[in-house]
Amino acid sequence: MALLAALALVVVTLGAALTPVRPREPAEPPFSEQVRVSALAETLRLKAAGEQLAQAAPGNGSGTGQPDFSRTVTLLTTQSRALLAPGDVPHDASTPFPSATPSAASSPAPLPASAAGLAADLAGSGRRRLADAAAADGGMARLLAAVGTAQLLQASALAAAAGAPAPAQADPVQADPVQADPASPLSGACPSPEAAASSSSAGHDAPTGDATLDGALAATVRTEMETVYGYQVALTRLGGEAAKPAAEQLARHEELVSAAESLSRMHCAPVPPREAGYSLGQSFLAAPATGLAGLETATLPVYADLVALSDGETRRWAISGLLDAARRAVLWGADPGPVPGLTADPAAFPTLPAGSAAPLR
C-alpha cells in the first residue's frame, strides 16, 4: 500500500509539472486610457488625411477656390501632442501604439478623399470625444471635451470653405438642465450653516480652494453674471446687424446664470450673490464686439474646470456649456484655439514621435 501511494504521488506530481500554465489575460486598460488611445489614433488619422488633401489641392488650397487645410493640420497636430502619453511610441508608421486596445488598434476607416469628407469625419470624431468626456476621469474629461469642441468648430469652418453642408449642430451629450428646478430634492438634504460649522470644528471640513465642485460652480455663476453685464453694456453701443445676435446671446447668458445657480443649490454649494455691476475697460467700451469675444473666451476655462470637477448631469451640462461658449467666441471673431478651455501652453506638449505622421493601421 505504501508503494502504491508513493507511485500515485509521483504520477500526480509529474502531471502537475507537465501541465502548461495558462498565461494571465492582460488587464483591460481603464476607460479613460481606452478613450485617450482611441482619440489619439483618430486624430492622427484625420491629420494624415488633411496632409494628403493639402498636397493634392491646387496651389495647396490657397486662392483657388479650395479650402486651406493648413489650419486643420496644425490643429490636429497640436491635439495629437496633447493626447500623447509617454509610452506612445510606434515602431513605424504602420504599427499601432503599444498601449492601444484591440479596438483602437484595428484597421481604421479609409482616409476621406475630399474636404467635405474630412469635415464630416472631423465632426464625427468631435462628437465621439465629447460623448467619451461625459464618462472619463476628471482630467481626461477636460482634455477630451477641449479636443472635441475644437474638432467640431473646425469641421464647420472646413465645410463652409468647401461649400459643403454644415455638420449637424446637435448636442453630442444631450444635456441641458437650464430648466432645472431650484427646489431640487437635494436642496432639502443640504446641511444648515450651523451643522456645517459643527462638522468643520469636528475635523470633517471639506476641501477648500477653487479646485472643488463648489469652487467651480461658484466661478461659473460669477463669470456668467459678469458676461451678462458685459452684454448689457455692449448693447447700448452696438448697432446694425451686431445688435440682434448680442440680444440673443444676452438672453442665453441670463438662462445660464439661472442654471448655474440651480446646479449650485442642487449640490448644496454656496451661490455667489449677484453684483450690481462690473468694471469694464475702456477698450471694451471702444470696441464692444471685440470685448464680447474676450468675455466669451474667458468663460472657456471656467467650463473646462467644471467638466473636470463634476460628473453626471452637471458634467454633461458643463460640456455643452464649453461647446456653446466656443461657438459664441467664434461668432464674435475670437479663436478658441486647438484645445479650448485648457490653460496649458501647447508649446509644452510632447513632440510627436517619428513615424506617427501617417495613420495608425
119-167 pLDDT, tens digit per residue, is 999 999 999 999 999 999 999 999 999 999 999 999 999 999 989 888 8
The pLDDT value recorded for residue 3 is 76
Pairwise pLDDT comparison (298 vs 26), residue with the higher score: 298
Domain boundaries defined on the chain: 31-171, 177-186+208-331
Per-residue model confidence as pLDDT tens digits over 83-116: 998 877 654 433 444 444 444 445 557 888 899 9
Whether pLDDT at 75 is above 70:
yes
All three cell numbers of 315: 458634467
Task: Specify the pTM.
Answer: 0.82
Amino acid 291: pLDDT: 97
Burial 30-47 (b: 16+ CB within 10 A, else e): eebbbbbbbbbbbbbbbb
Determine the Cα–Cα distance for residues 315 and 318; give it in Å rounded to an integer: 5
The better pLDDT of the pair 258, 112 is held by: 258
Give the DSSP letter of residue 86.
T
* Apex 114 CA angle, 108 and 120, nearest 5: 65
Is residue 186 within 8 A of residue 266, CB to CB? The reply is yes
For 64, the grid coordinates are 483657388
pLDDT value at 218 more than 90: yes
Percent over 90 (pLDDT), the chain? 60
Query: Residue 20: pLDDT band by 50, 70, 90 thresholds?
Result: low
pLDDT at 23 over 70: no
Contact indicator for 141, 322 with CB cutoff of 8 Å: no
pLDDT tens digits, one per residue of 269-325? 999 998 888 989 999 999 999 999 999 999 999 999 999 999 999 999 999 999 999
Superfamily of domain 177-186+208-331: Ferritin, core subunit, four-helix bundle (1.20.1260.10)
The pLDDT score that the predictor gives to residue 66 is 62
**What's the distance, CA 101 to chain centroid?**
21
Closest CA to 51 of 66, 82, 72: 72
Rg of the chain's alpha carbons, rounded to an integer? 26
Q: What are phi and psi of 25, to 5 degrees?
A: -65, 135
8 Å CB contact between 134 and 316: yes
